[in-house]
Structure 1
Amino acid sequence: MLSNRNLAVLIGVGMALTVGTALAFEHLGGYIPCALCLEQRTAYYTGVPFMIGTAIAAPHIRRPRLVQAMFGIGALLMIWTMGLGIYHSGVEWGLWAGPTDCSGASSTVSQAGNLLESLGQRPPSCDQAAGRFLGISFAGWNVVAAALLTLACLYGAFRRQPAPRA
């Protein structure tokens, strides 16, 4: 059975690889993210250190419910970014309207757009996918990654916890 520590490390690495891939496409591939793309990364920026903390704390926590709650928080973060990815993918496919000029969805989106503009880059429109791989946009791939990471977190949250060591 996979220990809580190892599961948290595995989830944290998965989160880091996901956001690292997005950053590589941006900085090495030259793909400029739109404001919704940037907002989707927030869950990973929060989740990676949280899962590292979970990995460090889990072996020392004697209350299984607390460890389960920590994995549950990881699942909520991934569900949040998955929801944003679904929304963003729908905007890209023209299924529903997106935020006006990519700045109307939330204050975070507005701040991200303003940051890019202050750096001399006009963020691309949220309704135009920067690229598609196997027919799926970056936002769509975020949904796939977040769904897998959500399942891993839910496994940690709902599995039978090993008995604490004496």
Structure 2
Amino acid sequence: MNRVFLIRLAVAASALALAGAYLSQHVFGIEPCHLCLLQRYPHWVLIAVGLLALYVPGRLLPALGGLISFGAMLLSVYHSGVERKLWDGPSDCTGGAGDLTGLSGADLLSTDFDGGLVLCDEIAFSFLGLTFANMNVLLCAGLVIVWAMAARRS
């Protein structure tokens, strides 16, 4: 496996991950939470880095791809822990966000809400015990390896 093949593999994996995320959202109606949406951004960046790395020789861009993949993996590990209630998640998208001190009486009685809040600490989908965040951990760990191999072959 040469550098170009590995970079194309990494770009394809990120593109397929995004395609799966958008397909599950727009076709199957599985709405993403805030952390799910954040996990999409590194894949967009990885696609751009990969396309650029196909035309720019050297180890810098593949190494950057590996570093971004590692960061994406850590974000997915964080989200996985939030889903499994191993640690607290962001207060704006978890079920434990029960602080009402900043709200007025009118706010509390208001019926103006979109109802679209998807909680980060609730599992929206699971296949063989793996959530989307768990699957992204595995994908990103694989991407770290693929990008590292591409950097070594530069």
Distance 1:72-1:30 versus aligned 2 partners, 3 A rule: same
Match of 1:138 in 2: 132
Task: Confirm or deny: 8 A CA contact 2:25 2:31 kept in the other structure.
Answer: yes
SS at match of 1:5: helix
Q: CA deviation at 1:148?
A: 0.6
Task: Confirm or deny: 8 A CA contact 1:33 1:123 kept in the other structure.
Answer: no
Q: CA deviation at 1:3?
A: 2.7
Match of 1:80 in 2: 71
Corresponding pairs, count: 135
Match of 1:117 in 2: none
Q: Percent identity?
A: 33
Match of 2:108 in 1: none
Match of 2:97 in 1: none
Consecutive unaligned residues of structure 1, counting only runs of 5 or more, are 59-66, 104-119, 162-166
Correspondence for 1:69 among 25, 40, 60: 60
Correspondence for 1:89 among 80, 99, 124: 80
Correspondence for 1:99 among 83, 90, 96: 90
Task: Confirm or deny: 8 A CA contact 1:11 1:51 kept in the other structure.
Answer: yes
Match of 1:17 in 2: 16
Consecutive unaligned residues of structure 2, counting only runs of 5 or more, are 95-113
TM-score after normalising by structure 2: 0.82
1:117-128 → structure 2 map (5 Å cutoff)? 120=114, 122-128=116-122
- Larger RCO (alpha carbons 8 Å, 6+ apart): 2
Deviations 1:83-106 (A, max 9, x none): 111000101101001110229xxx
Deviations 1:27-58 (A, max 9, x none): 11101000000001110011112101111223
Which protein shows a greater Rg?
2
One-letter code of the match for 1:14?
A
Cα distance in 1, alignment partners of residues 150 and 115 from structure 2: 41
Cα distance in 2, alignment partners of residues 40 and 26 from structure 1: 14
Cα distance in 1, alignment partners of residues 132 and 139 from structure 2: 10
Cα-Cα RMSD: 1.5
